[in-house]
Amino acid sequence: MTRFGAGAVGQRVVVKALTWHGTRDVRVTDLPDPAIEAPTDAIVQITSTAICGSDLHLYEVMGPFLDEGFVLGHEPMGIVQEVGSEVTGLQPGDRVVVPFNISCGSCWMCGQGLQSQCETTQVRDQDPGYGASLFGFGRQYGNVPGGQAEYLRVPQAQYGPIKVPEGPPDDRFLFLSDVLPTAWQAVQYADIPPGGSVAVLGLGPIGDMATRIAQHLGAGTVIGIDLVPERLERARDHGVDVIDLTRTDDVVAMAQEATGGRGPDAVIDAVGMEAHGSPSGKVAQKLAGLLPDALQEKLMEHAGVDRLGALHLAIDLVRRGGTINLTGVYGGMADPMPMMTMFDKQVRLTMGQANVRRWTDDILPLLDDADPLGVDGFATHHLPLAEGPDAYATFQDKGDGMIKTVLRP
Q: Using CB under 6 A as the criterion, which residues of the chain lie in contact with ligand NAD when the complex forms?
A: 52-54, 56-57, 178, 182, 201-207, 225-228, 231, 245, 270-272, 275-277, 309-310, 327-329, 353-354
Residues 53-72 binding Zn ion (CB under 5 A) are 54
**Shortest-Cβ-distance residue relative to Zn ion:** 52
Which does residue 96 bind out of ligand NAD, Zn ion, none, counting CB within 5 to 8 angstroms by kind? none
For ligand NAD, the closer of residues 107 and 201 by Cβ is 201
Closest approach of Zn ion to the CB of residue 265, in Å: 27
For ligand NAD, the closer of residues 277 and 289 by Cβ is 277
Closest approach of ligand NAD to the CB of residue 211, in Å: 11
Closest approach of Zn ion to the CB of residue 136, in Å: 9
81 near Zn ion, judged by CB under 5 A? no
For ligand NAD, the closer of residues 44 and 329 by Cβ is 329
Which does residue 338 bind out of ligand NAD, Zn ion, none, counting CB within 5 to 8 angstroms by kind? none
For ligand NAD, the closer of residues 34 and 63 by Cβ is 63
Residues 161-200 binding Zn ion (CB under 5 A) are 178
Which does residue 388 bind out of ligand NAD, Zn ion, none, counting CB within 5 to 8 angstroms by kind? none
The 3 state secondary structure assigned to the chain is CECCCCCECCCCCEEEEEEEEECCEEEEEEEECCCCCCCCCEEEEEEEEEECHHHHHHHHCCHHHCCCCEECCCCEEEEEEEECCCCCCCCCCCEEECCCECCCCCCHHHHCCCHHHCCCCCECCCCCCECCCEECCCHHHCCECCCCECEEEECCCCCCCEECCCCCCCHHHHHHHCHHHHHHHHHHHHCCCCCCEEEEECCCHHHHHHHHHHHHCCCCEEEEEECCHHHHHHHHHCCCEEEEHHHCCCHHHHHHHCCCCCCCCEEEECCCCECCCCHHHHHHHHHHHHCCHHHHHHHHHHCCCCECHHHHHHHHHCCCCCEEEECCCCCCCCCCCCHHHHHHHCCEEEECCCCHHHHHHHHHHHCCCCCCCCCCCCCCEEEEHHHHHHHHHHHHCCCCCCCCEEEEC
Which does residue 131 bind out of Zn ion, ligand NAD, none, counting CB within 5 to 8 angstroms by kind? none
Q: How far is CA 229 from the centre of its chain?
A: 22
Closest approach of ligand NAD to the CB of residue 324, in Å: 13
104 near Zn ion, judged by CB under 5 A? yes
107 near Zn ion, judged by CB under 5 A? yes
318 near Zn ion, judged by CB under 5 A? no
Closest approach of Zn ion to the CB of residue 91, in Å: 23
Closest approach of ligand NAD to the CB of residue 144, in Å: 16
Closest approach of Zn ion to the CB of residue 172, in Å: 18
Q: Which of 66, 97, 110, 255 binds Zn ion (CB under 5 A)?
A: 110
Which does residue 327 bind out of Zn ion, ligand NAD, none, counting CB within 5 to 8 angstroms by kind? ligand NAD
| Closest C-alpha to 275, from 309, 252, 305 | 309
Closest approach of ligand NAD to the CB of residue 373, in Å: 15
Q: Interface with Zn ion by CB under 5 A: which residues? A: 52, 54, 103-104, 107, 110, 118, 120, 178
